[in-house]
Structure 1
Amino acid sequence: MKPIEVKRIAHIVLYVTDPEASAAWYGKVLGMEISARVKEGPYKGGIFLTFGVSDHDIALFPAPEGATQGKEFEHVGLQLAGETMADLQRAYAHLLANEVRIAEILDHGVSTGIYFYDPDGHMLEVLLQRTAHDDGQAIRQLRENGGQADPTALDPLHG
């Protein structure tokens, strides 16, 4: 038994220079909706965003003055709901159509991910999980391939 059983990442909170502008970007690029705005207190001006199921998946808080942007973590991985390479290709076309700055596309064996930046320089990844998690197969495969991360090409699929 593990001391703490974590089911999944519940949410992330990012410091951003302009929560309203960033919320608009996350809405346009990832289809997120605003679930709440912080009206009072130390996080006044913060915005909670949802993909439509959880109360919030990403929260955007005003960055303290002088904060270094986009360096708070390496990246956040967001698993696509779709399960085909065409779903990932459509996501890629959408990112390109919205002039999102792409960092790289990597094949991890168990998944393929598109790494990109938000307006404050935070790196995000949308990924297609190719190996199921349920039976431990993905853990075994990642262990066997030593955490493989090979650059790969991906053709955008429009429509």
Structure 2
Amino acid sequence: MKIEQIHHVAYRCKDAKETVNWYVDNLGMDFVLAIAEDRVPSTHEPDPYMHVFLDAGNGNVLAFFELPTKPEMGRDPNTPVWVQHIAFKVKDRETLLAYKERLEKNGIPVLGVTDHSIFHSIYFFDPNGHRIELACPDPEEDAMLAKLDTVKWDMLEEWSRTKRAPKHAEWLHKREFEKA
């Protein structure tokens, strides 16, 4: 048995219509489906919801639930805002920079471009407070991924023992940290 792909990823949103419009307008996603019920199908509990689905490209679906009867949504106060995020791949650096310009033109603060060696990213927040990353491949991505592949198990084992960052791949963000 093997998983084929992610069917969809679902997050909570504050307002389904605002969320759909934001993803359509800012990221060019298509709105593909809406489901609304007064009861939750899996648990049968009475709880009205709106469940919306967006096409994130290449068979990937991003979904959101608006839950009007639940307390206001928040974040885990023990998890830094940079940890939980949704990352989308874009074709190339030119596309990444075009998105950065579009987002900033729409009044959305953007962090980056950040150089991760294997890819380059920008970061921003959607209207629900979810952190979004757009990433484009580096021209040397394949060679760097092959290099990382050779040390992944050693790194994991060392981290598991020490809870300290192994140095096997410290080259990865060297260019980014040299900018600082």
- The TM-score bracket by the shorter chain reads 0.7 to 0.9
Unmatched 5+ stretches in structure 1: 154-159
* 2:107 is aligned with 1:99: yes
**Which fold has the larger relative contact order, with Cα–Cα distance below 8 Å and residues 6 or more apart in sequence?**
1
Larger Rg: 2
* 2:169 is aligned with 1:145: yes
- The alignment-based identity, stated in percent, is 19
Q: Which residue of 2 aligns with 1:156?
A: none
Question: SS of 1:25's equivalent?
Answer: helix
Larger helix percent: 2
The answer (yes or no) to whether the contact 1:104–1:116 under 8 Å persists in 2 is: no
* 2:13 is aligned with 1:16: yes
Q: CA shift at 1:141, angstroms? A: 8.9
**TM-score normalised to the size of structure 2?**
0.66
Question: SS of 1:87's equivalent?
Answer: helix
Aligned CA distance change for structure 1 residues 108 and 93 (closer, same or farther; 3 Å): same
Aligned CA distance change for structure 1 residues 98 and 8 (closer, same or farther; 3 Å): farther
* 2:66 is aligned with 1:47: no
2:117 to 96, 109, 119: 109
* 2:29 is aligned with 1:32: yes
Unmatched 5+ stretches in structure 2: 41-47, 153-167
Count of aligned positions: 146
The answer (yes or no) to whether the contact 1:113–1:126 under 8 Å persists in 2 is: yes
Question: SS of 2:50's equivalent?
Answer: coil
Q: Distance in 1 between matches of 2:94 and 2:13?
A: 32
The answer (yes or no) to whether the contact 1:106–1:151 under 8 Å persists in 2 is: no
- Structure 1 vs Structure 2 CA RMSD: 3.3
**TM-score normalised to the size of structure 1?**
0.73
